[in-house]
Structure 1
Amino acid sequence: MDQSLIKQYLLASFPQFEARLIETLIDNAFLKEFNEGDLLMNTGQNMRFTMLVVEGLVKLYREGEDGSEFFMYYIHPGGACALSMICSTKQQTSEIKASAVDKTTVLAVPTTLMDELMKNYKTWYYFVLETYRSRFEELLVVIDHISFKAMDERLEFYLEKQHHDLNTRALMLTHSQIANDLNSSREVISRLLKKMEQQKKVILHRSYIEYLK
């Protein structure tokens, strides 16, 4: 049953993979399920698998020494974490955290398989390169906003990205969560959200933020 389900997921989320690669993954990888809030990857964890997201949504973030969190990006079905690929290939520990935003299923590919996949399957090789490229570009955008944008601009960009990535205008985010993701304080975020509401960019509800732009 698992093998037929793995094939179904791969064909749906990774249609670019060649048939031989799909068969290799079916024979060697396995599915793992996570509930909302579960950690897929933790700081300091040894990476024994590269995880391909086939269902749900994964949030990646960096944790500071004081326990604060900084949001990096989301991984949707059809994607993978470039940093987990690097850590697993070089047998290094993770320097980031990843958690399931909602019920999520991933295909865990053993690190012992990575060299073989890179050498023998062009579609995997190009997938890894594209994953590195796209994640690097996302991180450049984040760095640009941290370095060159004021907090109000960063907040607007953050909410726009949440709207785009989650595909909803009803953002189930608390002011504290946003403050953690942006490495700010709850008071600053609350003040800026109130200003955005006055500008008709959002509506602040009791349990969620309605994005209007």
Structure 2
Amino acid sequence: MVNLESVNQILNELIAEAPLREEILSLGRLRKVKAGQTVISPNQSAGEMPLVIKGLLRVMRHDEKGNEVFLYYLEGGHTCAMSITCCLEGKKSTFHVVAEEDTEMWMMPTAYLDSWIQKYPSFRKFVFQSYQMRFDELLQTVDSLVFMNLDERLYNYLLDKKQATGSFEINKTHQQIADELNTSRVVVSRVLKKLEKEEKIEQHRNKIEIL
């Protein structure tokens, strides 16, 4: 269970100015979500920006037909650069954020973001670093879509999941992976079988182990 001490620890690592840390604590609130629960829906107007304290969020991009593709994960100490843009420009979200596991976030009111960016250098640095980190991850996603075959995309997806969770076990069904990579379950099953023959993974019931 996360308490204010845990929130303070994250803020101390990110924010140098004590007055800003106090503002974030006094104006924000703790939000808990269960695995699989939606945090931000497409076309949603955001009044708060989430800062992950504990857990893992999955950010997806969707099109008008409802198809989705995985973009990146958000872990402890991270926020979503796409949500910052929507907050600052008053736009509705064009992405989907789902809790990959039970997650706890500190929700910061968007009405203060612009003034915090202008007033506090460390918050401005945090925002810019968030943009840069997500931009790099988006470039990797684009590279995988354009330059990699599905075998490489799927294996990189599994490695990203391992790095984000710190676990060699991926608790996903073939259908869930197919949905996130915007392909079919049959194709995912075929590629996973190929990776298993190459001794890169082992498959279990609703679980994949990276070797």
- In the alignment, the residues of structure 2 paired with residue 105 and residue 22 of structure 1 have an alpha-carbon distance, to the nearest angstrom, of 18
Give CA deviations for 1:135-159 in whole Å, capped at 9, x if unaligned.
Answer: 0000000000101111111111111
Question: How high is the sequence identity, in percent, across the aligned residues?
Answer: 32
Q: How big is the shift at 1:84? A: 0.5
Q: How big is the shift at 1:190? A: 0.6
Match of 1:188 in 2: 187
1:57 aligns with 2:63: no
TM-score normalised to structure 2 length: 0.94
Give CA deviations for 1:7-57 in whole Å, capped at 9, x if unaligned.
Answer: 541323651312121111112111111111111100000011111111111
Could you tell me whether the CA contact under 8 Å between 2:6 and 2:53 is conserved in 1?
no
Deviates more, 1:190-199 or 1:11-20: 11-20
Residues 13 and 179 from structure 1, CA distance in 2 versus in 1: closer, same or farther, beyond 3 angstroms? Answer: farther
Match of 1:101 in 2: 100
Could you tell me whether the CA contact under 8 Å between 1:31 and 1:107 is conserved in 2?
yes
Match of 2:163 in 1: 164
What SS does the aligned partner of 1:139 have? helix
Letter in 2 for 1:92: K
Could you tell me whether the CA contact under 8 Å between 1:10 and 1:54 is conserved in 2?
no
Could you tell me whether the CA contact under 8 Å between 2:51 and 2:105 is conserved in 1?
yes
- In the alignment, the residues of structure 1 paired with residue 8 and residue 37 of structure 2 have an alpha-carbon distance, to the nearest angstrom, of 23
Could you tell me whether the CA contact under 8 Å between 2:12 and 2:21 is conserved in 1?
no
Q: How big is the shift at 1:172? A: 0.5
What SS does the aligned partner of 1:106 have? strand
State the superposition RMSD in angstroms: 1.5
- In the alignment, the residues of structure 2 paired with residue 152 and residue 8 of structure 1 have an alpha-carbon distance, to the nearest angstrom, of 39
Displaced runs of 4+ in structure 1, greater than 4 A?
none
What SS does the aligned partner of 2:14 have? coil
1:43 aligns with 2:42: yes
Could you tell me whether the CA contact under 8 Å between 1:7 and 1:22 is conserved in 2?
no
Structure 1, unaligned runs of 5 or more:
none
- In the alignment, the residues of structure 1 paired with residue 10 and residue 46 of structure 2 have an alpha-carbon distance, to the nearest angstrom, of 26
Residues 8 and 153 from structure 1, CA distance in 2 versus in 1: closer, same or farther, beyond 3 angstroms? Answer: closer
What SS does the aligned partner of 1:31 have? strand
Counting matched residue pairs gives 209
Letter in 2 for 1:149: M
Q: How big is the shift at 1:198? A: 0.8
- In the alignment, the residues of structure 2 paired with residue 184 and residue 34 of structure 1 have an alpha-carbon distance, to the nearest angstrom, of 28
Structure 2, unaligned runs of 5 or more:
none
Q: How big is the shift at 1:81? A: 0.3
What SS does the aligned partner of 2:58 have? strand
Letter in 2 for 1:49: E
Deviates more, 1:65-74 or 1:194-203: 65-74
What SS does the aligned partner of 1:50 have? strand
